Chains A and B, each alone.
Chain A
Amino acid sequence: GNSVTQMEGPVTLSEEAFLTINCTYTATGYPSLFWYVQYPGEGLQLLLKATKADDKGSNKGFEATYRKETTSFHLEKGSVQVSDSAVYFCALGNNAGNMLTFGGGTRLMVKP
C-alpha cells in the first residue's frame, strides 16, 4: 500500500537559515505529491504540489522536486522566517479519486 515517511520534528532554526524537511514515499503507479502546511489553530493548507517525476512545485519561497529514482519529495526553503513556524505535512495521491496518504507531520520552529 501507499505510505509517506517524513522526518520527525521539531525542527528548530534561526531566522534566515536554510530549511530541508525530508519526505520519502512508497506507492504503486505514478502518484501526485503534496506539501501541506498547518499554522497554529488553523486547518491544513496546500503549500505546493507536483504531479509527475522531475516536476518542481514551488510557493512562498518553498520548493520540492518529485524524485522518482529516490522516491522523495523533500521540502526546501533558502531563508526561513519566524512566520514559517508551522507543522508541515507531506502527502501522496494516487490519482484515483482524491484519496491522500499523509505523513506524520514535521513541526518547524523558527526563532528570531
Chain B
Amino acid sequence: DARVTQTPRHKVTEMGQEVTMRCQPILGHNTVFWYRQTMMQGLELLAYFRNRAPLDDSGMPKDRFSAEMPDATLATLKIQPSEPRDSAVYFCASGLPGQGTDTQYFGPGTRLTVL
C-alpha cells in the first residue's frame, strides 16, 4: 500500500531554531505539494514541485522558508529562523497529473510547535 511518509511527526522547538521537515512521495509520483494547516487560516498551499522543479512557491514566506527536492524520493521544507506563528501542521502531498487524475495523496503531517 503506497503512502506518502513524513518525518518527524511531531517537532517542538524554540524560537530562532532551524526546523527541517521531510517528505517521501509515493514512488513514481512527479508532483509534490507542501501545505500548512492552522485553525485560523485552514489549509494553505505553500509550494509545489513537478519533476523536482519548483513551479509555485508564492504561498511561502520567502525570508524564512525554503523548499527543495534533492531527489525524486525526498522533498524538504526548512524554516530558519522559526517563529511561534509558524506553529501548525505541515502536510506533504504527491500526485501524478493526467487527464482526470488530479488526485493528491497526503502524508500524515508534521505537527510543529515553536515556543
Cβ of A49 within 8 Å of any chain B Cβ, yes or no, is yes
Interface contacts beyond A42-B108, A96-B97, A99-B102: sample of 12 additional A-B pairs, CB < 8 Å, sorted by A = A34-B103, A36-B106, A43-B4, A43-B107, A43-B108, A43-B109, A52-B100, A89-B43, A93-B103, A98-B97, A98-B104, A99-B48
**How many residues does chain A have at the interface if contact means C-beta atoms less than 8 Å apart?**
23
- A97 close to B100 (CB less than 8 A): no
Q: Shortest beta-carbon distance, A27 to chain B, in Å?
A: 12
> Do the beta carbons of B97 and A97 come within 8 Å of each other?
yes
Q: Are A100 and B106 within 8 A (Cβ)?
A: no
Residues of chain B within 8 A (CB-CB) of A42 are: 108-109
For the complex, is B42 an interface residue (Cβ under 8 Å from A)?
yes
- Asked if residues B106 and A43 are in contact (CB atoms below 8 Å), the reply is yes
Q: Does B58 contact A (CB under 8 A)?
A: no
Q: Which residue of A lies closest to B92 (CB)?
A: A43
Q: Could you tell me which residues of chain B, from 84 to 103, have a CB within 8 Å of some CB in chain A? A: 91, 93, 95-97, 99-100, 102-103
Known interface pairs A97-B31, A97-B50; A51-B100 also in contact (CB < 8 Å)? yes
- Chain B residues lying within 8 Å of A45, measured Cβ to Cβ, are 106
